[in-house]
Amino acid sequence: MAVLKNNRTAAFRICKEERVIVISTVFYILIALLIFGSLVLIHELGHFLVARAFRVTVNEFSIGMGPKIVSRVAKKSGIRYSLRMLPIGGYVSMAGENEASDDVNAFSNKKVWQRILVVLAGPAMNILLGFLSMFLMVSLTVANGSPLASTTVAQFQDGAESSKYGLMIDDEILKVGNVYVHTGDEVVYEIMNNTKIVNDRYATTDLLVMRDGQRVKLENVVFPILKDDQTGVVFGNYDFKFYGIQGDFGTLCKNAFWRSLSTVKMIWDSLIDLVTGRYGLNAMSGPVGITKQIGTAVKSGGTTLLYLFTVITMNLGVFNLIPFPALDGGQLFFLLIEGVRRKPLKQEVIGTINFVGISLLLLLMVFVTIKDVIGLF
C-alpha cells in the first residue's frame, strides 16, 4: 500500500507539473499574439490614417492574413474592417494600389509625395510606439528606485584593462570610436560593436572623454572580449561601472530618445551584419523564436518584457524600411524612382518584382520557423 501511495503521489505531482507547463505555454502564446496583433494594428493604422487624411479610397483594413474570422463593412465609408486567422501581418487595401484606376481618389492618382507619406506612416508609427514604450520603461526603472546609467566612469572592475590604457574614474565618455554617446547603454553597445578584435582576449577602440573640463582623446583603449555562444560572434566588453543619475521629466525624455535612437542603430547594424555575413541565419528568430523570448521576458519581469516589446516594434519599423520588394521600403524605392523619372514604372514590372520579393520572404520565414521549432527540442 505504501508503494502504491508513493506512485500515486508521484503521478499526481507529474500531472500537476505538466498542467502548469501547458497553462504557462498557452499564456505565453496569448501574450505573443497580443503583442504581434498590437504591432500590426499600429503599423497598418499609420498607413490607414494618412491615407484617409489624403482622401485615398480605402477598400479594406485587415489585421492578420488568410481566412476571415470577423469582417464588417462600415455603412458611411464603405470600408471593410477584417480580423483574419494568421497573425503574421496585415494590410490596408487601397484603390489603385496595384493597378491603374479611374477613381480620382485612388492611391495611384495621388501626388508622389502624398503616396510616400502614406508608405512611411506604417514604419514611423512602429518607431514612435518604440519611443513611447522606451520612455515608459525608463520611467518605471526610475520609479522602482534604480538610477539611470550616465556616461561617467564610477568604478573599475578588478584588473580592468581599460584603466591601464588611459581611462580614469570620473572620465565622462563622449565618443566611442566615431560615434557620440549620450547614455550608459549607448556606451556599452558601442564598445561591443565598435571595437577592433585584437586576439582571443582583447579588443581596442578610441575614446573621447571629458576630463577636468577638457576633451581628451584616448587611442587604442583595450577592453576584454565577450563571445556569443549561440552565434560565435566576438564582441568588446566594458569593464567598469557608471555613476547613476536620477531623472526629472526632461532627463527621462532625453534618455528615452537617445536609447531609442541607439536601438534603431543596433537593429540597422544587425541587418547589415546579416547581409555581410558576420551573423548567420541562425541568429534570426521568427514568430516561434520570438514567442519563446517573450516567455523568458515574462518570467524576468515587466521592464524586460517592455524592452523586448520596444525592440520588436522598432525592428518591425526598421525592417519595413529596407528597399526590398514587398516591403514598405521597396514601395518607397519605386515611388522615388517615379519622382525622379516623373512617370511611374509599369505595374506589370512592379508586380513581378513584388511577387519575387514575397516568395523570398515566405521562404525565409519558413526556414526560420523550422529552425526555431527544431531549437525547442
Catalytic residues: 44
Contact 62, 339 (CB under 8 A): no
Task: For residue 301, give every residue at least 6 positions away whose Cβ sits within 8 Å of its Cβ, in sequence order, or none.
Answer: none
SS3 295: helix
Task: For residue 283, give every residue at least 6 positions away whose Cβ sits within 8 Å of its Cβ, in sequence order, or none.
Answer: 230, 231, 233, 270, 274
- Distance between CA atoms of 285 and 297, rounded to whole angstroms? 15
| CA 327 centroid distance within chain | 16
Burial class (CB in 10 A: 0-12, 13-18, 19+), 275: exposed
End-to-end CA distance of the chain: 38
- Distance between CA atoms of 330 and 271, rounded to whole angstroms? 16
- Distance between CA atoms of 2 and 200, rounded to whole angstroms? 59
Residue with cell 543596433: 266
Contact 14, 74 (CB under 8 A): no
CB neighbourhood size of 374 (10 A) = 9
Task: For residue 367, give every residue at least 6 positions away whose Cβ sits within 8 Å of its Cβ, in sequence order, or none.
Answer: 281
Residue with cell 526555431: 372
Angle between helices 2-53 and 302-320 (to 10 degrees): 40
- Distance between CA atoms of 264 and 259, rounded to whole angstroms? 9
Contact 308, 285 (CB under 8 A): no
The one-character DSSP state at 229 is T
Task: For residue 3, give every residue at least 6 positions away whose Cβ sits within 8 Å of its Cβ, in sequence order, or none.
Answer: none
Tell me whether strands 214-227 and 202-211 are parallel, antiparallel or unpaired.
antiparallel
The one-character DSSP state at 99 is S
